[in-house]
């Protein structure tokens, strides 16, 4: 049974010094570093397949990927794999947990949804301890910015066409997505925008965040969000927030998909 299986790993990384997840020639990427490390640990080439592609500078708290040794020799127990890989991985990337899944499981195509969190602040000066981890905005927010952003975030929920929240030039044809939850919280002076959806368009969360910040600054009214969504026009939404505040927080799967023997 084991020889038809592969590892499903939950990975965390700080994206600051990575050129995204996807392997690229002569660039440091998460997939590239993991591929090299796995080959050293297992002694054979290993296929690394991710749940999505994150951009340069974007972080992950629970990115999911499969690790599949070429010889199908899964000799390292799942509870030992994180520590075994740790010796070959840099400090800004780690495998946090692992389990076995059947060969038919795919971390991207079997994902039922994802949760992203975007962190931003509005302190009058930069906090050096938040550099590359939080979008630091020095312009003052409205006194009721949190309330207004929460109102705006609620308008993102539901099954809608999010063309206005997709970067231009994306080849995606179907721009309809279902946002299951969207909220803004304030935690020790840091705003956290958390959004769960069945899928995301290119830069969708970053554009949503930029739009919320426009609301917080008083440049855009919260009640205009439904109108912006209906317009389908990218220019009607806010700016694209920078990558450093974005984190992939969770990936959702159905347990039954882990047992797929073929696709």
Q: Which residues are catalytic?
A: 55
210 and 137 in contact (C-beta within 8 Å)?
A: no
Q: Pairing relation of β-strands 135-136 and 113-121?
A: parallel
Spatial distance between the Cα atoms of 198 and 155, rounded to a whole number of angstroms: 16
Q: Which residues partner with 203 through β-bridges?
A: none
List the structure tokens of 105.
């499981």
119 and 133 in contact (C-beta within 8 Å)?
A: yes
60 contact partners, CB below 8 Å, separation of at least 6: 11, 12, 13, 15, 30, 54, 247, 248
């Amino acid at each position: 049974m084991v020889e038809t299986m592969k590892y499903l790993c939950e990975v965390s990384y700080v994206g600051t010094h990575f050129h995204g997840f996807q392997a690229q020639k002569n660039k440091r990427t998460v997939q590239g570093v993991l591929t090299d490390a796995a080959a050293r640990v297992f002694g054979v080439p290993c296929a690394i397949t991710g749940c999505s592609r994150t951009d340069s500078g974007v972080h992950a708290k629970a990115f999911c990927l499969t690790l599949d040794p070429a010889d199908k020799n899964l000799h390292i127990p799942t509870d030992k794999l994180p520590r075994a890989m740790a010796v070959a991985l840099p400090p800004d990337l780690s495998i946090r947990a692992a389990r076995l899944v059947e060969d038919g499981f795919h971390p991207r195509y079997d994902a039922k949804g994802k949760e992203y969190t975007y962190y931003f602040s509005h302190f009058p000066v930069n906090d050096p301890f938040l550099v590359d981890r939080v979008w630091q905005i020095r312009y003052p927010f409205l006194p009721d910015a949190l309330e207004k952003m929460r109102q705006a975030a609620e308008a993102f929920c539901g099954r809608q066409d999010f063309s206005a929240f997709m970067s231009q030039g994306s080849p995606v044809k179907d721009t309809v997505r279902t946002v299951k939850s969207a909220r803004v919280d304030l935690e020790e002076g840091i705003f956290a925008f958390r959004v769960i959806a069945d899928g995301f368009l290119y830069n969708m969360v970053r554009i949503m965040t930029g739009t919320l910040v426009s609301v917080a600054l008083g440049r855009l009214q919260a009640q205009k969000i439904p109108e912006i969504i209906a317009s389908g026009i990218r220019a009607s939404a806010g700016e694209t927030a920078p990558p450093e505040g974005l984190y992939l927080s969770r990936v959702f799967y159905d347990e039954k998909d882990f047992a797929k023997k073929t696709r």
